[in-house]
Amino acid sequence: MIQAAIFDMDGLLVDSEPYWREVEIDVFRTVGLEMDDEMCKRTTGLPTDAVVRYWYEKHPWHNRSIEDVGAEIIQGAYDQIGKHAGPMPGVPEILDLFRQRGIPMAIASASPMHLIEAVIDRLNIQSYFTLWHSATLEKRNKPHPDVYLGTARKLGVEPTVCVAFEDSGNGLKSAHAADMLTVAVPADYEFDDPKFNIATLKISSITQFNQQKLTELETQLSISTTIR
């Protein structure tokens, strides 16, 4: 049976993406790059340093270092999300579902640890999780599998008996590469993007995940284990 549920954070547990976009637009303006929401969506799910490099390669600037721009984006997001962000729909219910089943839960995020902890405090969900882990503490960030493998290792379970929940394509690649069962929860604007086809299950909202869906995943896990 499934022995752990591992959740991405931004855009999955917390409605943080609007704040990330707002901060990115403001900070990139300081280097002469005028952004909008649609441009920001191109890099959703990427680590902040990768986002900054992406835009630097397309629109180079010379008045600030890449590191300085990235640090200001992270600090701005920390401030805005920590003060204003709320949970995504269905979050309390899905956490209660896994708690009732006695399945340990963890967070595996591309965000730095201080932002993860700010979100956990903001949503008051500390008691649900056995641990939380940041990909910034691993050698490679998402889309590489390191953060999911590291989280499974810290939980003391094999990756193959974990289910990972992700809202972004890069995050999904990370969990899939770790050989976990995956539940993709894409945003409306990219729900039909083929990059989500690798998911074990795709839903439009966490509110759609229930006991029946969990049973279906465990059945699929049982079948794949038997085949192996």
Could you give the residue numbers annotated as active site?
Answer: 8, 10
Side chain identity, residue 61:
W
Q: Token match 């009732």: residue?
A: 100
Gyration radius from the chain CA atoms: 17
List, as own/partner pairs, every contact residues 155-159 make where C-beta atoms lie below 8 angstroms and the sequence separation is at least 24, other chains included.
Answer: 155/3, 155/4, 155/104, 155/106, 155/130, 155/131, 157/3, 157/4, 157/104, 158/3
Which runs of consecutive H residues, i.e. helices, occur in the chain? 17-29, 37-41, 48-58, 66-84, 91-100, 113-123, 146-155, 169-177, 211-227
Element of type H or E holding 206: none
Whole-number Å distance between alpha carbons of 148 and 144: 9
CA 72 to chain CA centroid, nearest Å: 21
The answer to whether residues 204 and 185 touch, using CB atoms and an 8 Å cutoff, is: yes
